[in-house]
Amino acid sequence: MFENTKDKLMNKEAFFVLIIQIINPLDKLYKLLRNCILKEVKGLIDLTPNHKWMIYQTIILSKNLFTIFQTQNDLERKAQAEDKLIPAIDQNLRFDAIVSLNEAFVFEIMSIPRIGQFMYIMLKKKGFENLEDINESKCYKPMLGQLDDLQFKNLFNSFHFSKESRIVDEVPFEEEKIEIK
C-alpha cells in the first residue's frame, strides 16, 4: 500500500489503530467479505467474473493488511516516534491484533471451497499446466505473483495456536461452540 522513505514518513500505526477501532471484533471484516463472496453463489461452480474479482481483491486486501502490520523497520519506528497524534501501540495489543487478523483470514476466507485455486493463480507467474489455469491466468494477469511475499506459515500458526489457546482458556469462537454441539 505504501512504503516509508527518508523523505516521506507515514506512521502505519495510525491505520492499525483505525482498523482496530472500526473493525471490532477483527474477524468481522472477513465475515463480511465471506458473505459478499458467497452471496448468490451455489457451490462456487458457476462464478461470475465479479465474484472472481471479489475473491482476488479480498486476498490482496488481506495480504496488504498483513504486510503493513507485520513488518517494522527503522523508518517505521522513526515515523512512529515522530507522530504526535498516535502514540505507540502496546506490542502485545499489536501482536494479538495481527494474530486475530491472520486467524480470521484462514477461518473465514481460506475455508471457502475452491479458494485455493485462486491463491494458486496468485502465487505463480507462468508455467500453468492445465487449460483452466492457463485461461484464468490470462483473464486475471494483474493477479499473477501477488502472493509471492505472503507468509503462509504465520497464517497457519496464528490459526492453530489461537485455537489451542482458546481450548486451554475454555473460550471458543461462536462457530466452534456450534461445531461442538
One-letter amino acid for residue 3 of the chain: E
Cα 110 from Cα 106, distance rounded (Å): 5
Cα 25 from Cα 175, distance rounded (Å): 14
Cα 40 from Cα 42, distance rounded (Å): 7
One-letter amino acid for residue 51 of the chain: H
Mean pLDDT, consecutive 10-residue stretches, the chain (181 aa), reads 67 74 76 82 72 86 76 76 77 79 84 83 82 84 81 80 65 52 47
Cα 145 from Cα 176, distance rounded (Å): 34
The predicted pLDDT at position 37 comes to 80
pTM, entire model: 0.71
Q: Which residue has the cell 491463491?
A: 119
Cα 72 from Cα 60, distance rounded (Å): 20
Cα 81 from Cα 171, distance rounded (Å): 36
